[in-house]
Amino acid sequence: MPFPLPACAVCALLLPALLCAQTPASATGPDPREIPLPPITTPMGRLPGVNELPARPEMPDALVMDDGTKVTTAAQWQLRRAEIRRTLEYYATGQMPPAPGNVKGVEVQTETVADGKVKYRLVRLSFGPEEKLSLDIGIFTPAEGGPFPAIILQAGTPPGATPLPRLPPGPNQGKGENVLLFVGAGNNPAPRASVAPGTSSATAETLATRHAEIFHRGYALVIFNPNDCAEDTTLREPDGSWSFRTTRFLPAYPGYDWGILAVWAWGASRIADYLETDPAIDRTKLMVITGASRNGKSAMIAAAFDERLLGAPVVTGGGGVGAYRFAGPRRSETLDIMELKYPNWFSPELRQFLGQREKLPFDQHWFLALCAPRPFLALEGDTDVISLPAAVQASFRGAEPAYALLGAAGRLGVHYSRHGHTFNAEDWTALLNFTGRHLLGKRDIVFDWFPTDADLDAAAAENRQLSP
């Protein structure tokens, strides 16, 4: 049942869904009919609002300090990096709490699978204030040898773990409508188990078989359900606040306005905290973080904010690798589209830039610049319409000067597979080839091809011919 609302909010609830779908955000800001989110006061304080910022159609330079000083040395870059991180936390992701420094792990279950070739362990992590937070992770390693470099995959509930109960979705979640016109659950179902499509019933044996190439190449695979960190729902409380802030990690850190993607990224870093202590994991090498779509966005954020991680996000779409300033053509996702459907993923401050993306004091290339000098791979699909290659390329070109400054030119990679919005075997092969090159010193492979409009049209035509 929906929560009781003031009269103005009741009017919003009575609007037909079609009207909601056809009424986009204002050309210069949020829809005035929206039920506002209560502000959260964070330790960061306040930065300039959209009306205080200049219009900058060009990509903001990652190598120019806030005071206009050009960054020319590695020492200056460390100062600039702190500025970039502060800006991204404030406007893009929401502020995250510091690392708790008390992550511990207890082995709950172990078994040998894949005809004795792979060892699986279910480990329960505990951390946070009074060690009250927990997270189940599944660790797969080759049965012999080690230690192994780790690949962290955002997936479903690890085999053997108990799926956590889930909040219902918001009343118009996933419908391409403005989710801030509503509070309450409407007619949505009661809470459900924490299930990720295609992964909830997977056994350790099934996953070891599915990812056999990972173990053949000498890696460990670590999986976790990001919804065990923050629940992916647009459901809202009677006061207008997000319901996801009432469960999982969020109640332990009430003074932070982090969005869901930032919570997932922070959870990945807590896994990295533990893996540094696990004798089966090679702590001398970067840990790979990957995931598709929304999980790809959080993988990008995790890699940007954690220097132990190598980002390899897949089909990230709007709010991912591609620059906001270039998105829109060919039906690609824009800032306005993402803020209409999923503002809960981002900082509350991002919404003020609806219709005014040219006033953003950053763009997505800053996330890639924060990864420098570490390798970073964007995995895309040539028929994935929500991600525009020109926007991805703009982010790469904007981040390359930071890599060049640090003597790391060539460590930014991109790979376009023949598919749409998915994560398949071709992506895994490209990921393993890229990490093999940069982590294991394997054979040289080039990762710098971007499809043209003609390439995209040809791929779309071929895809239509292959469709039944």
For residues 120-141, average pLDDT = 98
pLDDT at position 449 is 78
pLDDT digit string, tens, across residues 398-455: 999 999 999 999 999 999 999 999 999 999 999 999 999 999 988 766 677 788 898 8
Same-domain pairing of 256 and 134: yes
Helical ranges in 276-331 per DSSP H: 294-305
pLDDT at position 468 is 64
For residues 11-28, average pLDDT = 38
Sheet holding 220-224, edge to edge: 104-113, 118-127, 133-142, 220-224, 150-154, 287-292, 309-314, 376-381, 412-417
What distance in Å separates the CA atoms of residue 85 and residue 352, rounded to the nearest whole number? 19
* Domain end among 246, 275, 304: 275
Asked if pLDDT for residue 286 goes beyond 70, the answer is yes
* Domain end among 248, 275, 302: 275
Position 408 in a domain: yes
Same-domain pairing of 320 and 367: yes
User: Residue 463 — pLDDT band, cuts 50, 70, 90?
Assistant: confident
For residues 383-392, average pLDDT = 97
pLDDT at position 282 is 98
Same-domain pairing of 199 and 229: yes
Domain count within the chain? 2
For residues 254-261, average pLDDT = 98
Using CA atoms of 332, 335, 337, 341 in order, give the dihedral in degrees to the nearest 10.
Answer: 130
Same-domain pairing of 357 and 464: yes
User: Residue 190 — pLDDT band, cuts 50, 70, 90?
Assistant: low
Same-domain pairing of 237 and 346: no
Asked if pLDDT for residue 198 goes beyond 70, the answer is no
CA distances from 447 to 274, 364, 387, 416, 418 (A): 31, 19, 18, 9, 15
- Please provide the average confidence, as pLDDT, over all residues in the chain: 91
User: For residue 139, which of 243, 36, 211, 239 has the smallest C-alpha distance?
Assistant: 211
For residues 83-112, average pLDDT = 98
Q: Of 1-10, 52-61, 283-292, 429-438, which range is least confident? A: 1-10
* Domain end among 216, 244, 275: 275
User: Residue 144 — pLDDT band, cuts 50, 70, 90?
Assistant: very high
Position 17 in a domain: no
Position 266 in a domain: yes
For residues 248-277, average pLDDT = 98
Query: Which is it for strands 165-166 and 150-154: parallel, antiparallel or unpaired?
Result: unpaired
Asked if pLDDT for residue 24 goes beyond 70, the answer is no
Same-domain pairing of 356 and 421: yes
Position 18 in a domain: no
Give yes or no for a contact between 392 and 466, defined as CB atoms under 8 angstroms apart.
no
Same-domain pairing of 467 and 320: yes
- The sign of the dihedral angle between the CA atoms of 310, 312, 313, 319 is positive
Asked if pLDDT for residue 57 goes beyond 80, the answer is yes
Asked if pLDDT for residue 82 goes beyond 80, the answer is yes
DSSP state of 403: H
Position 67 in a domain: yes
Q: Within 13 Å of residue 74, how many CA atoms lie on the same side as its CB?
A: 7
CATH of the domain at 383: 3.40.50.1820
Same-domain pairing of 432 and 301: yes
pLDDT at position 374 is 98
Same-domain pairing of 89 and 106: no
| 3-state SS record for 190-212 | CCEECCCCCCCCCCHHHHHHHCH
pLDDT digit string, tens, across residues 324-377: 999 999 999 999 999 999 999 999 999 999 999 999 999 999 999 999 999 999
In this predicted model, which residue has the larger pLDDT, 215 or 25? Answer: 215
Asked if pLDDT for residue 103 goes beyond 60, the answer is yes
pLDDT at position 192 is 54
Same-domain pairing of 241 and 112: yes
In this predicted model, which residue has the larger pLDDT, 327 or 185? Answer: 327
Which pair of structure tokens corresponds to residue 12? 């919003």
Same-domain pairing of 116 and 225: yes
Position 30 in a domain: no
| Percent of the chain whose pLDDT exceeds 70 | 90
Same-domain pairing of 76 and 210: no
Q: Of 77-86, 176-185, 355-364, which range is least confident? A: 176-185
pLDDT at position 27 is 64
pLDDT at position 197 is 38
Residue 87: domain span: 53-93+286-468
Asked if pLDDT for residue 51 goes beyond 50, the answer is yes
For residues 216-232, average pLDDT = 98
pLDDT at position 436 is 95
What distance in Å separates the CA atoms of residue 340 and residue 144, rounded to the nearest whole number? 49
Position 402 in a domain: yes
pLDDT at position 390 is 98
Helical ranges in 277-424 per DSSP H: 294-305, 335-341, 365-371, 389-405
Position 366 in a domain: yes
CA angle at 467 for the pair 466 and 468, rounded to the nearest 5°? 115
